Amino acid sequence: MKDMKKLNSIDELRELRERLKKETFKPDSLNAKICCGTACAATGSHEVIEAFEKETQGRGVRLEITKTGCQGLCQKGPVLKIEPANIFYQRTKPENVPWITSYTLIGGIPYRSNLYRDNFLSEPVPIMTDVPFYKKQLRIALRNNGKIDPCKIEHYIAVGGYKALEKALSSMTPDDVLNEIDKANLRGRGGAGFPAGKKWKHTKSAPGNIKFVIANGDEGDPGAFMDRSIMEGDPHSLLEGMILCAYTIGAQYGFIYVRHEYPLAVKNLNIAIKQADELGLLGKNILGTNFSFTIDIREGAGAFVCGESTALVASIEGERGFPRVRPPRLSEPGGGPWGFPSNLNNIETYVCVPVIIEKGADYFLSIGTKNSPGTKVFALTGKVKNTGLVEVPMGITLREIIFEIGGGILEDKNFKAVQTGGPSGGCIPEQYLDLPVDFDSLISVGSMMGSGGMVVMDEDTCIVDVAKYFLSFCQSESCGKCPPCRIGTYQMLEILKKITSGWGEEGDIEKLEDLGKKVVEGSLCGLGSSAPNPILTTIKYFREEYEEHIYDKYCRSKVCSGLGVYSIDNEQCFLCGLCKQACAFDAVKELRNKFFVDQDYCTKCKACYVACPIGAVKIEKQKRQSLVASE
């Protein structure tokens, strides 16, 4: 905010931008853009910054350091990019800094040891855009992550920030903005995919002088961090999107609902709101117009159900996060906080708005597919080589994301399934790897886009155990208000626990299917109506694994305890005795210099299997029960 005063007109914003373009990022100056997002900060990015400051000062090197938000390749952090050479470094430690200073900052050449490479034998890749993880990405929502310091509004303005607001206030009516968003067919990135233009139009037409704009940053899916990274790395793009929405629908107040577990996001948002207010981009008479809008932050207490719109509104009001019956919808009188009509979108949806207004709806429509234009941000996690944050055009295939961007499966094992849409999404098998990723395609195979979580599973993953894990999350996060969700998910979870511990019975699969359908049909909110998805899709595509657990008492992935027949391969066994030491029930016996498992004592606890260093302890199928008998 140095040398900047409150802007009283649109022309003053234009003049400020032109000045900042020249002063902020000089094309020939050395600049180290170091990721300071949550993941890289946890692995030591701030220590790397201190090392750069100390090293360059001692050697007389003039270096600008930009503390950026998430740059995407979280698994390889701390990551950084040295400009103007655009050299990308991964897993940077303070002890690497003197070498990077000598080679790159002084010598102008890459330091090979910290460059990206696919494996030890491959050639290093010095340029960020040539790294396979980034090659197929197209950044709209994440356009400024990795480029700017999120705590400096001058950086955001210098790269074109608030240009869309400038355009809207100077040459567009609220209806013009609304028509552009509607034409772009911007679908909600929170998971439902409802067109933002239609939602804005409905709120705009609601009666009353007081309206709210709400941003949903309650990102509760396990392994998902898309919205968090945007709020941490580019908070002003969220503010600009909300301001444009407020201008369009005639709102005066805004709320950003953020999880309390996101302290860095809350900190950076507070800084951004204060800066925008001091500069005249928020508050009364923005840029000298008669348009006024303020934004406040509301922190959630970590309840997953508060991602649902009506529960979120209840939490904003200070009530317990219980879903409410609709209608009225949020966009109608009586539906929003304290009864005022409100527009609710998630973080990623709002940050796409400035791009659409600045570049036009046709630009946005030129990306992605006809019914799902634009890009989508995914948190790629699980058994994949390169985990992190990716933004890709809609219509890209799952295979491209997992094997080209993600680098394939860890240890080159076989792919088994990918779970999209968070804990209430579906598990997609290998046969659909070439499925285009968009709202409609994912729904057609029993999954959904969700907020953007993408968990990859390999051949060693027990699909029944995975279904149990996701259902246990949804069941524990159920608010308990409606019986189908409260009781139905509990009963389904009990059946899954029984199956994975060796007590499954004939008919359990059918019970799960029947209960799942009833929970979907009878639940009050989206949590309950989507909680059975992982179970229903895994039964659909991996039914044989459920049958093995029930009838053969066998887990092919050797994950579930209480299943299988344990034996010792005496030809492979080298008599270390660790299996006998590990067994708490004296089931491992020694006879004539050989070990064997006494089935009468064995509790199938897996202790011997885990203890064996060479895999001589085997788990095999039991004789098939009931199903064989009935045949």
Domain ranges of the chain: 27-130, 153-300+343-365, 375-460, 464-552, 565-630
Would you state the structure tokens that stand for residue 443, as one six-digit string? 């729904």
How do beta strands 253-259 and 294-300 pair? parallel
Q: What is the pLDDT of residues 214-236, one digit of tens each?
A: 999 988 787 788 999 999 999 99
What CA–CA distance (Å, rounded) separates 509 from 499? 9
The percentage of the chain sitting over the pLDDT mark of 70, rounded to a whole number, equals 98
Q: What is the pLDDT of residues 473-497, one digit of tens each?
A: 999 988 889 999 999 999 999 999 9
Q: What is the pLDDT of residue 3?
A: 67
Q: Is the preceding peptide bond at 328 cis, omega within 30 degrees of 0?
A: yes
C-alpha neighbours within 13 Å on the C-beta side of residue 298 = 21
Q: What angle do CA 358, 360, 361 make, to 5 degrees?
A: 135
Q: What is the pLDDT of residue 2?
A: 62
Q: What is the pLDDT of residues 286-326, one digit of tens each?
A: 999 999 999 999 998 878 888 889 999 999 999 988 899 88
Are 224 and 38 a contacting pair, CB within 8 Å? no
Name the band, by pLDDT with cuts 50, 70 and 90, for residue 192.
Answer: confident
Residue 629 reports pLDDT greater than 50 = no
Question: In CATH, what class is 464-552?
Answer: mainly alpha
Q: 3-state secondary structure string, 136-161?
A: CCCCCCCCCCCCCCCCCHHHHHHCCC
- The residue type of 229 is S
Q: What is the pLDDT of residue 26?
A: 83
| Closest of 50, 69, 49 to residue 148, by C-alpha | 69
For helices 174-184 and 347-359, what crossing angle results, to 10°? 110
CATH architecture classification, 565-630:
2-Layer Sandwich (3.30)
Mean pLDDT of the region 92-121: 92
CATH architecture classification, 27-130:
3-Layer(aba) Sandwich (3.40)
Q: What is the 8-class DSSP label of residue 567?
A: E
| Closest of 392, 446, 449, 383 to residue 416, by C-alpha | 383
Would you state the structure tokens that stand for residue 413, as one six-digit string? 């094992």
Helix (H, G, I), strand (E, B), or coil: what is residue 406?
coil
Q: What is the pLDDT of residue 625?
A: 55
Q: What is the pLDDT of residue 214?
A: 97
DSSP readout, 51-109? HHHHHHHHHT---EEEEES--S-GGG-S-EEEETTTEEE-S--GGGHHHHIIIIIIT-S
Q: Is the preceding peptide bond at 174 cis, omega within 30 degrees of 0?
A: no
Least confident of 113-127, 151-165, 269-283: 113-127
The percentage of the chain sitting over the pLDDT mark of 90, rounded to a whole number, equals 80
| Closest of 393, 351, 386, 391 to residue 372, by C-alpha | 393
- For domain 153-300+343-365, say whether CATH 3.20.20.70 is its number: no
Predicted TM-score (pTM) of the model is 0.92
Mean pLDDT of the region 237-247: 98
Q: What is the pLDDT of residue 448?
A: 87
Q: What is the pLDDT of residue 306?
A: 87
- Label residue 571 exposed, middle or buried (CB < 10 Å: 0-12, 13-18, 19+): exposed
Scan for tokens 């993880």, then name that residue. 133
- For domain 375-460, say whether CATH 3.10.20.600 is its number: yes
Q: What is the pLDDT of residues 171-184, one digit of tens each?
A: 999 999 999 999 99
Q: What is the mean pLDDT of the chain?
A: 92
Mean pLDDT of the region 348-362: 97
Mean pLDDT of the region 576-595: 93
